[in-house]
Amino acid sequence: MISYLSSYLLKIFKINLKYKAGRTLLTLLILFLVINSSGCLKRDTDKERDKQKKSTDNQEKTGKEEEKITLLQGERKNILSKGRKIAYWRDGLVYLYDLKTKKSQEIFSIKNVIALSWAADNKNLALLKGLGKQNEAGEYQNTEIFIINIESKEGQPLSISPGKILYPSWDSSGTRIAYTRVFNEKEQDIYFYDFTRSREYPLTSDGKSFMPAWSPDGKSIAYLRGQDKGNYSTGFKSLNIWEIKVETGQKIKISSFKESKLTGQVSIFSLNWLVNGREIAYLDLSNGVIGTINIEDKKTQVIPIKLNGQKLHRELAADFEGKQFLIVLEEQINPSVDPIKIMLLDRDSKKMTELIKGSYFIAWY
């Protein structure tokens, strides 16, 4: 083979080697090239085998294959409507409401939704879906995070360990979702799922942490932490807002709340980390107000809600710039066919406007 190849090369390059030594030298050169090429091929094959082995090992460690959910990525600055549309759920359907045209559009059919959270590109929506039976308080035994793409109208559940999941919150990159895991209806902690690694990670382990909200830069999560033996459902007599650095686990206390004289508990819900990065908004059910706290100087502002005999629900959603808020009120004195309604509250003027009747679970689009 080598002799034939050397003769062939001689014809091509018209090399006239009259001496046997010249032919021998050429043969040795070709033999060296063939052996070296085989070695390179072997090294490349070994590298590929090692790469596959590592991939298999990782799958064995996590106990599952790579996550198959496909997300359409986008950047925070490219949010399409910046608060001009609202996602909400009613009677088994998810809708988009356009603030300009005042019309709703049906986008997906799904039952038992109890929370919504948009990805930053506004193409993927995380829904919290109730599973099993409801208890006397209307809470489901288990829940799952269900992700839909509003362009393809397709959806599927997030592949994480089953259980009771609450308060999903999508980060600004669209690659991670934080949520609360509930254990035995008594303890709760913050976890997040990373789509790029197809893995779930715990962030707290104190059994009293819940309701996460991502910072706009995706580096931190704000959350609520109880200071006594209560839980997310029965409430706490003392409650704090904390910030945790996702990469390092460093925790920073932001604010404290004590029990209301009327209810004997703290009723803080629905943390929203505003896009300016300096403020966190929350809903105070005990006092019927929306509060904002500056994480730099710790100063708070209170936005009163004129209830007029109406019940304030736990939902709160801030718009892109934190200038307007969505809340849900329920008529108590003179209930109509649709006693529940979504209201728009302007931060500066304190004016409230009724938007949609008979609807729950809101999220800015």
Give the per-residue pLDDT at 83. Answer: 58
Q: Which CATH architecture has domain 76-364?
A: 6 Propeller (2.120)
Which of 109-118, 197-206, 334-343 has the largest mean confidence? Answer: 197-206
Question: What SS3 string covers the chain?
Answer: CHHHHHHHHHHHHCCCCCCHHHHHHHHHHHHHHHHHHHHHHHHHHHHHHHHHHHHHHHHHHHCCCCCCCCCCCCCHHHCCCCCCEEEEEECCEEEEEECCCCEEEEEEECCCEEEEEECCCCCEEEEEEEEEEECCCCCEEEEEEEEEECCCCEEEECCCCCEEEEEEEECCCCCEEEEEEEECCCEEEEEEEECCCCEEEECCCCCEEEEEEECCCCCEEEEEEECCCCECCCEECEEEEEEEECCCCCEEEEEEEECCCCCCCECEEEEEECCCCCEEEEEECCCCEEEEEECCCCCEEEEECCCCCCEEEEEEEECCCCCEEEEEEECCCCCCCCCEEEEEEECCCCCEEEEEECCEEEEEC
Q: What is the pTM of this model?
A: 0.74
- Whether 284 contacts 301, CB under 8 Å: no
Whole-number Å distance between alpha carbons of 1 and 79: 65
What pLDDT is recorded for position 205?
A: 94
- What's the first-to-final CA gap in the chain, in angstroms? 70
- The confidence score (pLDDT) of residue 262 equals 64
Distance CA 232, CA 235 (A): 5
Window from 32-36, 39-43, 93-97, 282-286 with minimum mean pLDDT:
39-43
The predicted model gives 320-335 an average pLDDT of 84
Highest mean pLDDT of the ranges 41-45, 88-92, 349-353 = 349-353
User: pLDDT tier at 127 (50, 70, 90 boundaries)?
Assistant: very high
Which residue intervals of the chain bear CATH 2.120.10.30?
A: 76-364
Question: Is a pLDDT exceeding 80 seen at residue 97?
Answer: yes
Average pLDDT over residues 184-203: 93
pLDDT for 82 beyond 50: no
Mean pLDDT along residues 129-151: 88
Write down the pLDDT at residue 360.
Answer: 66
The pLDDT mean for the chain works out to 77
135-144, 167-176, 255-264, range with the lowest pLDDT: 255-264
Token pair of 243 as six digits: 């910030």
* Per-residue pLDDT at 52: 31
d(CA 161, CA 202): 12
pLDDT digits (tens, 9 = 90+) for 271-317: 999 988 999 999 998 889 999 999 999 999 999 999 988 889 988 98
